[in-house]
């Protein structure tokens, strides 16, 4: 069972390597007040590849809302570079997410079914919206690639959240 992150609590700040030779700090955006962290399974996942392709034309919509978007996986640097080249995408890509980091983020972790799939444990999908205070405003984690928020319609929904000062939901503990 993964660690469950609680809405409104600080997001576990996590550093990962990026393709520019620097770092992406998940939970602390570089340029905007809000950060959307998209965890994808890796280059081996055709659904993730389509998800990143669908995201690409919507990046300006997220930027207009003041939301920095980053994507991250457990892939190696070579696989992350191939993902960017194959898909012709510009979203900042972090790579080398470790099982310890995945667990801290409350992600489900899977082992590869074969060496042809990938060569290491990988995270199942996750989406985290972190507010300017560094707290988890919205979260969606899945144990399979088929269930995840629609990144094409999400900017309109986030605009509603921002325009209406919509509160963090799901803070009541059972």
* Domain spans, the chain: 14-160
pLDDT value at residue 64: 96
116: pLDDT strictly greater than 80: no
Read off the pLDDT of each residue in 112-124 and give the average, rounded to a whole number: 83
Contact assessment for residue 36 and residue 29, using Cβ atoms and an 8 Å cutoff:
no
144: pLDDT strictly greater than 80: yes
Number of other residues whose CB lies within 10 A of the CB of residue 150 = 10
pLDDT value at residue 120: 85
Contact assessment for residue 151 and residue 62, using Cβ atoms and an 8 Å cutoff:
no
Q: How confident is the model at residue 114 (pLDDT cuts 50, 70, 90)?
A: confident
DSSP class of residue 154 equals: H
pLDDT value at residue 115: 76
40: pLDDT strictly greater than 60: yes
What CATH homologous superfamily does 14-160 map to?
Glutaredoxin (3.40.30.10)
Contact assessment for residue 35 and residue 67, using Cβ atoms and an 8 Å cutoff:
yes
Q: Quick one: residue 169, left, alpha or beta (phi over 0 = left, psi -120 to 50 = alpha)?
A: beta
Residues in the chain: 174
Residue located via tokens 């003041």: 66
Q: How confident is the model at residue 159 (pLDDT cuts 50, 70, 90)?
A: very high
Helix (H) or strand (E) holding 104: helix 99-104
Percent of the chain with pLDDT over 90: 85
Q: What is the pLDDT of residues 58-74, one digit of tens each?
A: 999 999 999 999 999 99
The dihedrals phi and psi of 106, each to the nearest 5 degrees, come to 75, 20
Percent of the chain with pLDDT over 70: 97
Contact assessment for residue 148 and residue 51, using Cβ atoms and an 8 Å cutoff:
yes
Read off the pLDDT of each residue in 63-89 and give the average, rounded to a whole number: 97
155: pLDDT strictly greater than 70: yes
Can you name the residues that pair with 35 across neighbouring β-strands?
68, 130
Average pLDDT, the chain: 93
Q: How confident is the model at residue 174 (pLDDT cuts 50, 70, 90)?
A: low
């Amino acid at each position: 069972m993964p660690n469950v992150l609680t809405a409104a609590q600080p997001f576990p700040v996590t550093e990962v390597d990026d393709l520019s030779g620097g770092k992406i700090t998940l939970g602390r955006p570089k340029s905007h007040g809000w950060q959307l962290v998209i965890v994808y399974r890796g280059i081996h996942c055709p659904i993730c590849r389509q998800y990143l392709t669908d995201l690409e034309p919507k990046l300006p919509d997220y930027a207009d809302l003041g939301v920095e978007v980053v994507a991250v996986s457990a892939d190696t640097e070579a696989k992350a570079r191939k993902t960017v080249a194959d898909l012709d995408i510009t979203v900042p890509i972090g790579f080398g997410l470790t099982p310890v980091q995945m667990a801290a983020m409350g992600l489900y972790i899977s082992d590869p079914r074969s060496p042809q799939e990938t060569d290491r444990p990988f995270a199942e999908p996750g989406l985290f919206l972190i507010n300017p205070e560094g707290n988890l405003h919205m979260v969606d984690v899945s144990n399979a690639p088929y269930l995840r928020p629609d990144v094409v319609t999400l900017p309109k929904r986030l605009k509603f959240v921002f325009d209406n000062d919509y509160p963090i939901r799901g803070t009541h503990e059972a």
